[in-house]
Amino acid sequence: MKREMLLWDETIFKDREVLEFDHLPEHFAHREPQMESLKFCVKPVFAGGRPVNALCLGPPGTGKTTAVVKLFTEIEAHSTKVIPVHVNCQIDHTRHAIFLRIYSKLLGHSPPTSGVSFKRVLERIAKAMTTENRVIVVALDDVNYLFPEREVDRVLYTLLRAHETFPGFRAGVIAILSEPALSYIFDPRVGSVFQAEEVSFPLYSIEEIRDILGRRVHLGFYPGVASGEIIDLVSDLTERAGDLRVGIDLLKRAGMEAERRASRIISKEDVDRAYERSRLVHLSSALKPLREDELLLLGLAAEMETSKAGDLYERFKDATGSGYTRFHEILNKLDAARLIDTDFSGPGHRGRSRVVRIRYDPKEVLDRIRPKENI
């Protein structure tokens, strides 16, 4: 007779890793046209040409990063001449940091930590590429983090025009942006060489969500843990959120809720409790890389909900003693991270004034920031 309750050393999870939203699935369903488009962009490399640049567009949680990582995995399995470099622009958001990432991937080790100029790093990259007849394909994931101070123009200009200084330098770029369209206007010198093939990633349909989550349940839980009704419920909540990552995280957290009750099956109540944590998983992931003063400014913006940049700066300066330059940098970063909107409206004492609006429910933001502030 099957026991109703879990023993202390038992688990309902067959493979927890499958229920992480950054898990790379072996079977990547419902994105076949996008994968074919990306393969088309890389194909010229294998005939001695340059890659076609690509721009992956679509809402968060629609498979953009997974598609590029799957492509890069296939490239590495079949070629030693094409070097794919995945860059998380949340972490590496300057030209120097990005080229250090390229250097490390290409040469297999990091350059000296001090005393090496950007010019020397670029020269070393170019020499390794041209001597060994290698091509780099650089994915700039969350490229919007390069929009402040127009850093993206510097990165793309260097990558895509390096062949003018270093004959034989071949590079392509795949930019990933969690928006339905690109609103950024490139420097004309960059726009003339970037000319990216747009690859659109629409929201998953409810049927596609149910299929993907059903596969995760099959691989992640033991049989009978999540019924069809539970999968349907999680799928409906995922479609409402418009982000597949919510559903994957919700399955994991609902399983944890069931285990907390020592239950062998996930109940509707487990899903309901877990949803409070999972429904804003995109907000939580956007907060993770923020530094203390960046969280503080976001908290001030959430408290004020809508404010003029000058008023927000005065509060920030009183709290930190930082100058306007640092305030401006953080404001641009929070805007790039889609945590706030900053619109210009009318004249201010520094030219046109900016109006800062929080993009989430202020209480949701403050509830997630305050524990970090108290650490």
Residue 320 among known ligand-binding residues: no
Any idea which of 83-87, 198-202, 308-312 has the lowest mean pLDDT?
308-312
Helices 32-42 & 64-78, crossing angle to 10 degrees? 50
Residue 65 among known ligand-binding residues: yes
Half-sphere exposure of 272 (CA within 13 A, CB side): 3
pLDDT digits (tens, 9 = 90+) for 49-60: 999 999 999 999
Residue 119 among known ligand-binding residues: no
224: left (phi over 0), alpha (psi -120 to 50) or beta: left
150: left (phi over 0), alpha (psi -120 to 50) or beta: left
- Provide the pLDDT for residue 351: 52
| Of residues 305, 303, 323, the one with CA closest to residue 314 | 323
Cα-based angle 61, 253, 87 (whole degrees, multiple of 5): 35
Q: Where would I find the H helices in 12-94?
A: 32-42, 64-78
Structure tokens at 256: 């944890």
Q: Which residues have a Cβ under 8 Å from the Cβ of 344 and sit 6 or more positions away? A: 352, 353, 354, 355
Average pLDDT of the chain to the nearest whole number: 92
The 10 Å Cβ neighbour count of residue 285 is 16
pLDDT digits (tens, 9 = 90+) for 319-353: 999 999 999 999 988 988 889 988 866 454 455 67
Specify the DSSP element, H or E, that contains 88.
strand 82-88
Is the confidence at residue 371, as pLDDT, over 60?
Answer: no
- Provide the pLDDT for residue 372: 46
Residue 299 among known ligand-binding residues: no
pLDDT digits (tens, 9 = 90+) for 251-308: 999 999 999 999 999 999 999 999 988 998 888 888 888 899 999 999 999 999 899 9
Per-residue pLDDT averaged across 114-119, rounded?
Answer: 84
Domains recognised in the chain with CATH numbers: 32-200 (3.40.50.300), 205-279 (1.10.8.60), 290-373 (1.10.10.10)
- Euclidean distance between CA atoms 336 and 340, whole angstroms: 8
* pTM exceeds 0.85 for this model: yes
Residue 66 among known ligand-binding residues: yes
Confidence of residue 375 (pLDDT cuts 50, 70, 90): very low
Q: Say if residues 375 and 308 touch (Cβ distance below 8 Å).
A: no
